[in-house]
Amino acid sequence: MSNKNKIEPMEITFWGTRGTLPAPGPQFSQAGGNTNCTELTIGEHTIVFDAGTGVRELGSQLAAERPNQKVHLLLTHAHYDHVEGVPFFAPFFIPGTQVKVCCGDLDGSNSTEDTVLDLMRRPYFPVGPSVFTADVEYVDLKANETFKIGDEIEVITLPLNHPGGATGYRINYSGKSFACVTDTEHVVGEHDQSIVDFIQDVDAFFYDCSLTDEEYPDFAGYGHSTYEEGLRLQKLANAGMLIAFHHMPFRTDEELNKIEADMLKSDNPANMIAREGYSFTL
């Protein structure tokens, strides 16, 4: 941090809350139609969870208002809805800007750098990451690795149950904590103890709430979970606010509002669905 004696707020903003595909249209406008992208800022460090279509607007704001931020892009995995905004992320094109791209092991990719290279190659994209002018560093994360951002921000990683691999992230700073747990699939009637341990006593976390328990059997093997399972994990882990995330592209605002109403019946009245543009501070 720029001042080691100063405790900075942990500021979280959702720039994209959809999974699978963007969801344009008035029936999706309240929760937003952009795909996965969440910003967590602590002082001079901006941590970005995933780079779906929502990362474009975030990047434009960073370029205009905070071009000197140190940007840490933490990819959960490389399915399209989590990386399709990478080529349009403005900080990659600002000379002198430090951008660190981190990712865990993925089937079919040898490294984080290869993942980005494969994303930006013909015939799928006209130019490669050689067009980036920022100071870009690619980091390969090991399973369950813990590392530091700056001197005081701790990042803990967790392998998730998703086809091809995925990584969850927990940020600990100055007695506060926030966790990103998407995409992951649970086993009916069981609880993933690794996730329970990972989110133990966390202040807030977002979880893969793509489905409902009723829908879940029809999507077995796709690597997603339910908001009801999120509530069960929250209780087992004594976790703070649960934020339902990774909304399916067919899930309308009306349906999401009903899910949120059910979540509010739990022991934690702060539970909510993720909405594009919503910000809060820990």
Annotated domain spans of the chain:
11-281
Domain 11-281 class, CATH top level: alpha beta
pLDDT of res. 191: 93
pLDDT of res. 3: 55
Q: Decide if 231 contacts 192 (C-beta within 8 A).
A: no
The alpha carbon of 1 is separated from its chain's Cα centroid by a whole number of angstroms, namely 22
Q: Decide if 51 contacts 73 (C-beta within 8 A).
A: yes
Task: Report if pTM > 0.85.
Answer: yes
Name the pairing type of β-strands 70-75 and 98-103: parallel
pLDDT of res. 4: 60
Whole-angstrom CA distances from 160 to 23, 31, 188, 198 are: 25, 25, 16, 11
The alpha carbon of 215 is separated from its chain's Cα centroid by a whole number of angstroms, namely 23
Whole-angstrom CA distances from 5 to 2, 19, 45, 118 are: 9, 39, 16, 42
Helices 227-237 + 253-263 axis angle, to 10: 30
Upper half-sphere CA count for residue 87 (Cβ side, 13 Å): 16
Return the beta strands (E) in 50-145 as ranges.
70-75, 98-103, 135-140
pLDDT of res. 2: 47
Whole-angstrom CA distances from 148 to 43, 191, 196 are: 15, 29, 22
Q: Decide if 10 contacts 157 (C-beta within 8 A).
A: no
Residue 176, beta-bridge partner list: 173
* pLDDT per residue of the chain (282 residues) written in tens, 0 to 9: 445 668 999 999 999 999 999 999 999 999 999 999 999 999 999 999 999 999 999 999 999 999 999 999 999 999 999 999 999 999 999 999 999 999 999 999 999 999 999 999 999 999 999 999 999 999 999 999 999 999 999 999 999 999 999 999 999 999 999 999 999 999 999 999 999 999 999 999 999 999 999 999 999 999 999 999 999 999 999 999 999 999 999 999 999 999 999 999 988 999 999 999 999 999
pLDDT of res. 6: 86
Cβ-proximal residues to 255 (8 Å cutoff; 6+ apart), any chain = none
Q: Which of 169, 161, 129, 163 is closest to 40 using CA atoms?
A: 169
